[in-house]
């Protein structure tokens, strides 16, 4: 069983360094381009099924990658793999978030959470519930999972050798993949932040 966990392509809010969370922002032109390039480079990988966050930026990225890679897999959505809810700070830049933004990136597990939103533990609970349920199927299939930066890190955190290193030093790049292989109910991370486009196109909008 192989699980390709994807962070969606770039949005205009991404390019401005704005936290979009549950804001349903579409892909921008560069986001669509990265998805096309990724999909074209992934020809030969057969996806049996795709599960996406319900937000447009995630579903559209999945649609493009499936189309460009020659896959006709169905896409279903699951609310558990939505991005973290930034609550009252949705639509704010990292600098506008002040101490909340700093703690969110520098010490996420000791961050008390966003006002009227979520904390890291909330996102870990729901995303890991999703991943564990998928792994338990042990069906030998290949899955594409289209999600978001913080949600991606939360989803695989329990599989890491050092779970306290939540961010791997940075937020996942747009259209990057964390790959998980599973058999007999046991799973391991085999790749982190893998991109299928030219690495010169990587932009890290949220450096620590």
**From the CA atom positions of the chain, what is the Rg in Å?**
16
Instruction: For Cα atoms 154, 36, 172, give the angle at the middle one, nearest 5 degrees.
Output: 20
Q: Output the pLDDT for position 207.
A: 53
98 lies in a domain? yes
**Total domain count, the chain:** 1
Q: Output the pLDDT for position 136.
A: 97
Q: How far is CA 192 from the centre of its chain?
A: 11
153-164 b/e (C-beta count within 10 Å ≥ 16 → b): bbbbbebeeeee
65 lies in a domain? yes
Residue 42 main-chain phi, psi, to 5 deg = -100, 10
24 lies in a domain? yes
The band of 94, judged by pLDDT with boundaries at 50, 70 and 90, is confident
pLDDT, average across residues 15-43 = 97
* pLDDT greater than 80 at residue 103: yes
Structural tokens at position 198: 């030219």
8 part of the active site? yes
Active-site hit among 83, 90, 118, 148 = 83
204 lies in a domain? no
Q: Output the pLDDT for position 98.
A: 87
The band of 95, judged by pLDDT with boundaries at 50, 70 and 90, is confident
Structural tokens at position 187: 């799973």
83 part of the active site? yes
* pLDDT greater than 60 at residue 80: yes
Active-site hit among 8, 25, 90, 148 = 8
Q: Output the pLDDT for position 206.
A: 61
Q: What are the respective helix, strand and coil percentages of the chain, to the nearest 5?
A: 40, 20, 40
Residue with the bigger pLDDT between 111 and 206: it is 111
Q: What is the CATH number of the domain that holds 112?
A: 3.40.50.1240
Cα 29 from Cα 191, distance rounded (Å): 27
* pLDDT greater than 50 at residue 208: no
> Residue 29: which domain range?
6-197
Structural tokens at position 157: 């955190």
Q: Please write the tens of the pLDDT for every residue from 144-195.
A: 999 999 999 999 999 999 999 999 989 999 999 999 999 999 999 999 999 9
205 lies in a domain? no
Using a pLDDT cut of 70, give the percent of the chain over it: 99
* pLDDT greater than 50 at residue 104: yes
- 120-137 helix and 149-156 helix, angle to the nearest 10 degrees: 60
Cα 10 from Cα 25, distance rounded (Å): 10
Tally of CB atoms within 10 A around 34: 28
Closest CA to 34 of 1, 7, 59, 10: 10
Cα 51 from Cα 153, distance rounded (Å): 17
Cα 135 from Cα 117, distance rounded (Å): 28
203 lies in a domain? no
Q: Across-strand partners of 49?
A: 143
The band of 204, judged by pLDDT with boundaries at 50, 70 and 90, is confident
58 lies in a domain? yes
Using a pLDDT cut of 90, give the percent of the chain over it: 92
User: Whole-model pTM?
Assistant: 0.96
């Amino acid at each position: 069983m192989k699980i390709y966990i994807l962070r969606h392509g770039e949005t205009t809010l991404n390019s401005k360094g704005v936290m979009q969370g549950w804001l349903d922002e579409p892909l921008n032109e560069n986001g669509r381009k990265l998805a096309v390039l990724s999909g074209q480079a992934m020809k030969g990988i057969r996806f049996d099924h795709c599960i996406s966050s319900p937000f447009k930026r995630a579903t559209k990225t999945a649609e493009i990658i499936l189309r460009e890679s020659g896959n006709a897999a169905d896409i279903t959505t699951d609310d558990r793999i939505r991005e973290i809810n930034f609550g009252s700070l949705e639509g704010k830049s990292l600098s506008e978030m002040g101490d909340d933004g700093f703690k969110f990136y520098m010490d996420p597990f000791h961050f008390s959470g966003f006002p009227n939103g979520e904390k890291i533990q909330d996102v870990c609970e729901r995303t890991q519930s999703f991943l564990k349920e998928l792994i338990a199927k042990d069906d030998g299939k290949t899955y594409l999972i289209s999600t978001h930066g913080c949600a991606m890190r939360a989803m695989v955190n329990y599989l890491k050798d050092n779970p306290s290193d939540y961010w791997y030093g940075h937020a996942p790049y747009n259209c990057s993949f964390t790959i998980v292989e599973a058999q007999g109910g046991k799973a391991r991370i085999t790749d982190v932040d893998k991109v299928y486009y030219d690495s010169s196109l990587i932009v890290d909008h949220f450096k620590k």
